[in-house]
Amino acid sequence: MDGIEKGPIFIAGLDRTGKTWLHNLLLTYPHISITRHTYMWPRFYNSFGDLSKEENLEHCLSAMLQQDTIRAFSPDKYRIRQDFRQGEPSYARLFGLFHQHYAESLGKTRWGDQLGFIEKYAGQIFEAFPNARMIHMVRDPRSRYEEAASFSKQRKGKAGISLARWLKSVRLAKLNQQKWPQNYIVVRYETLVEHPERTLRQICDFIGEEFRTEMVITQPENTNGNGKVSKSEKAFFHLLARQQMSSFGYPPEKLNLSTKENLVFYFYDAPVNLAGMLFWFVIGRRRLEKPVIEKH
């Protein structure tokens, strides 16, 4: 099968889960182009109405071409218009044409995209590209937050925000894998680190590519933070996500909080982090895929 028949590759999941590492590994294939952080889906999907109407298409193209990450493709807007009119007038096809043309300009036959929370759009992607493959990276929420915490000066409620994002992402991972088992795979960061060759062989089989031995030599991105997750923050993760963590192979720890620590946890730390969690679910989820990496 050629690149078009195999379909595009999407790398999904939160930041600090190994997405960039996997992205770099897949770029060892000379015929694959995978872009990062184009933000086409969150910024432009369904934002301009029916694209079969010429005026809406022009408004969408104009807005897209104002974004630096898209202009970096050096897109031929006249060719995009021409190719777009020859098929279904969907946002997914329009986005795909930008990626496809860019890959062709590099002499490559298969394209892809890496973006946090692109898992939210799995249904629309698979409808437009039935042969697409989506690899969803997940990581223990404690170690993921530990790395983020190393940049923290003010951490009030941040554990709650981090956990809210993790819960949303893993919920989508489960739903998408159940609904599209042939198109969707969930990969644990820890498994990729501990068993790189075995895991990469599974990923290669999933996307329909030959395993390359040089992929194992490539080291993971530096995702080991210097922060320290407090017992109280871990207790919050356990309290709100015990079942979800265990289902992904992340069992709770024995924390043995003292009486004083328990009082501080239940009367201060837990309420503060719960407020952060609820804030994200009410406000932050509206900007799921915006180009904002957790800052602490």
Q: How far apart are CA 186 and CA 173, in angstroms?
A: 7
Question: Residue 95 domain-assigned?
Answer: no
Question: Residue 211 domain-assigned?
Answer: yes
Question: Residue 270 domain-assigned?
Answer: yes
User: pTM value?
Assistant: 0.90
Q: What is the chain's alpha carbon radius of gyration, rounded to the nearest angstrom?
A: 21
Question: Residue 177 domain-assigned?
Answer: yes
Name the phi and psi angles at 291, rounded to 5: -75, 60
User: Which CATH number covers residue 141?
Assistant: 3.40.50.300
pLDDT > 70 in the chain, percent: 89
Each residue's pLDDT tens digit, 201-223 = 999 999 999 998 888 876 665 55
First CA to last CA across the chain, in angstroms?
A: 46
Domain hosting 197: range is: 3-31+109-287
Each residue's pLDDT tens digit, 221-260 = 555 555 688 899 999 999 999 999 999 999 999 999 999 9
Q: How far apart are CA 53 and CA 257, in angstroms?
A: 62
How many domains does one find in the chain? 1
Question: Residue 272 domain-assigned?
Answer: yes
Question: Residue 202 domain-assigned?
Answer: yes
Question: Residue 160 domain-assigned?
Answer: yes
Question: Residue 259 domain-assigned?
Answer: yes
